Amino acid sequence: ASSEQESEITIIGGGPGGYVAALEAAKQGADVTVIEKEELGGTCLNWGCIPTKALVRSAEVYTNLKEAEQFGCRAEEVDFEWSEIIERKNNIVTQLTNGISSLLDKHNIEVISGTAELVDETTVLAVKEDEKIVINTEEIILATGSQPVEIPIVEQGAEDYLLYSRQALDLDELPEEMVIIGGGVIGLEFAFIFSRLDLDVTVIEYLDEVLSFLDTDVIDEITAAAKEEGIDIYTGAEAQQITTTADEQALVKFKEAGKEKYITAEKVLMAVGRKPDLGGLDVEEVGVEIDENSGGIKVDEKMQTTIDNIYAIGDVTGKTQLAHAASHQGIVAVKNILGTEEKMNYNAIPTAIFTAPEIASVGLTEAEAEAENKDIAVGKFPVAANGKDLTLGETRGFIKIIADAKTDQVLGGAIIGPHATDLITEVTLAVTNELSTAEVIETIHAHPTSAESIHEAALAVRPEGALHY
Ligand code: FAD
């Protein structure tokens, strides 16, 4: 069967880019259609941000129970049931995706479950099982996301031992050992989850550091935490081949410091990065250009592609790979479509990493500020000197504020420690609004809170230093 319908804005992909754009557009009165081939919520809600954080939490509760004595409490025969952890995770995901579905419904957004094809600049085809819907549309937003990068090192037979993040979230049972190839955000989050659930975890990272986009002091701190957790990390190590052993294990060959090494494991998680996913759309056919460096869809600051009425947002643009960036890009695209000119600003997009302890950063790192020849002043305050953090039983980490030495403007910050991913919002507010450390200092921070360390780090930017350190 085939039918035809009209839409003002057609959005391809219902992830945090696409569904947020849809909500924003509908709120502004536009007539919106969203086409999603898998599940609303996209990677983030179904196989990314949310399910991983559900596992992080289970691993944390289990760890806390094991460490109960430290808090004067007793927990005996501490154990966990992986299938129940997965069930809890699935329930959270279902609750959220159902929530999005009813939100879209409430705003009269038409959702088509099907695969979209781009016919021409103003025509999208949505293909359901035995149904084809032709959508004549004024504007199109491409929000098809990303896919894991595969590296050709897997020999025949070894595929059975190989996982990508999506499969790692739905393992039937936990292996005893796991090798994780890639020490980026996804690799490290899984390393902490699985290690805290008692697996032997080894991370193999090609670059000289894990999480190499962060400042060295942050990397040193998380590397020390990983070591204490029992995670083996090889850096400057190139995974070269995955084969199998006679006793049904994966055998990973890698090169470290010029030497060939081997490690066996029940499972190998490949987490070497993600690349833009065009979702099978023939974008170039309609004149939408691809950025050669990133492989993503070329967009300007308004999120407009090389075709006027076609916009692209989220991971498919190859700009960032963060859910909140995708959502913000979606809002920027919609505003431009509906007549309010707005530019996407990439200077203050926070990063949140759910390791133990958590890490978050925003704005310039020290290294980036130095590379830009900026005259900076840095203030740092240790977690161990914060009263609230001590009551939490947390002593590892610090908060760092990077300011312009002349203007006092907050240029960036990094946090490693308890609640880092929540705390970063204050620094983000400062960077976004070009606040000075003086303005952060004048702000009264509640006591006792982990956030007081932001106040202290801002004070530490000055020669007089922090109050409590
Ligand atoms: P997606 O969420 O990937 O959505 C794209 C959607 O488009 C998909 O649902 C897909 O089915 C659909 N689609 C594709 N092609 C078509 C087509 N032809 N027709 C119809 N539909 C189509 N980010 C964070 O900010 N915080 C985190 O903690 C975090 N954790 C992560 C953990 C993991 C394991 C992974 C993999 C990612 C994580 N991310 C995290 C990244 C985050 O998931 C992505 O940045 C975000 O999902 C990008 O949103 P998007 O809307 O661009 O794409």
Q: What is the pLDDT of residues 361-393, one digit of tens each?
A: 999 999 999 999 999 999 999 999 999 999 999
Q: What is the pLDDT of residues 119-145, one digit of tens each?
A: 999 999 999 989 999 999 999 999 999
Q: What is the mean pLDDT of residues 260-273?
A: 97
Cis-peptide into 357, omega within 30 deg: yes
Tell whether omega for the bond before 152 is within 30 degrees of 0, i.e. cis: no
- Each residue of 41-78: pLDDT tens digit? 999 999 999 999 999 999 999 999 999 999 999 999 99
Q: Confidence band (pLDDT; 50, 70, 90) for 293?
A: very high
| Ligand 1 pocket test, candidate residues 38, 49, 97, most atoms within 8 A of CB | 49
Is residue 137 lining ligand 1, measured as CB closer than 6 Å? Answer: no
Q: What is the mean pLDDT of residues 316-333?
A: 98
> Considering the entire predicted model, what is its pTM?
0.98
Of the chain, the percentage scoring pLDDT greater than 90 comes to 99
As a whole number of angstroms, the distance between CA 123 and CA 117 comes to 9
Q: Exposed/middle/buried for 238, CB within 10 Å: 0-12, 13-18, 19+?
A: middle
CA nearest 269: which of 218, 194, 330, 375?
194
Residue 200: pLDDT band (50, 70, 90) is: very high
Tell me the C-alpha distance between 36 and 15, whole Å: 8
Identity at 117, one-letter amino acid code: E
Instruction: Confirm whether the ipTM is greater than 0.95.
Output: yes
**Cα–Cα–Cα angle for 414, 415, 417, rounded to 5 degrees:** 160
Q: If you measure from the C-alpha of residue 279 to the centroid of ligand 1, how many angstroms do you get, rounded to a whole number? A: 11
Between the CA of 321 and the centroid of ligand 1 the distance, in Å, is 8
Residue-averaged pLDDT of the chain: 97
Report the alpha-carbon distance of residue 272 to residue 185 in Å, rounded.
10
Average pLDDT over residues 223-250: 97
The answer to whether residue 447 is catalytic is yes
> Which run of H or of E encompasses 278?
none
Q: Is residue 115 pLDDT above 90, yes or no? A: yes
Tell me, in angstroms, the distance from the centre of ligand 1 to residue 142's CA.
12
- Report residue 134 as tokens: 């032709």
- Give the C-alpha separation, 183 to 221, whole Å: 15
**How does pLDDT run across 406-443, given as a tens digit for each residue?**
999 999 999 999 999 999 999 999 999 999 999 999 99
Among 107, 328, 445, 447, the one annotated catalytic: 447
Q: What is the dihedral of CA 301, 305, 308, 309, to 10 degrees?
A: -100
Q: What residue ranges in 257-384 does DSSP mark as E strands? A: 259-265, 267-270, 274-276, 310-312, 351-353, 359-363, 376-382
Quick one: pLDDT band at residue 1, thresholds 50, 70, 90? Answer: confident
How far is it, in rounded angstroms, from Cα 139 to Cα 32? Answer: 10
Task: Indicate whether residue 184 lines ligand 1 (CB < 6 A).
Answer: no
CA atoms within a 13 Å half-sphere pointing along the CA-CB vector of 391: 6
Give the pLDDT of residue 39: 97
**Calpha distance 379→126 (Å, rounded):** 54
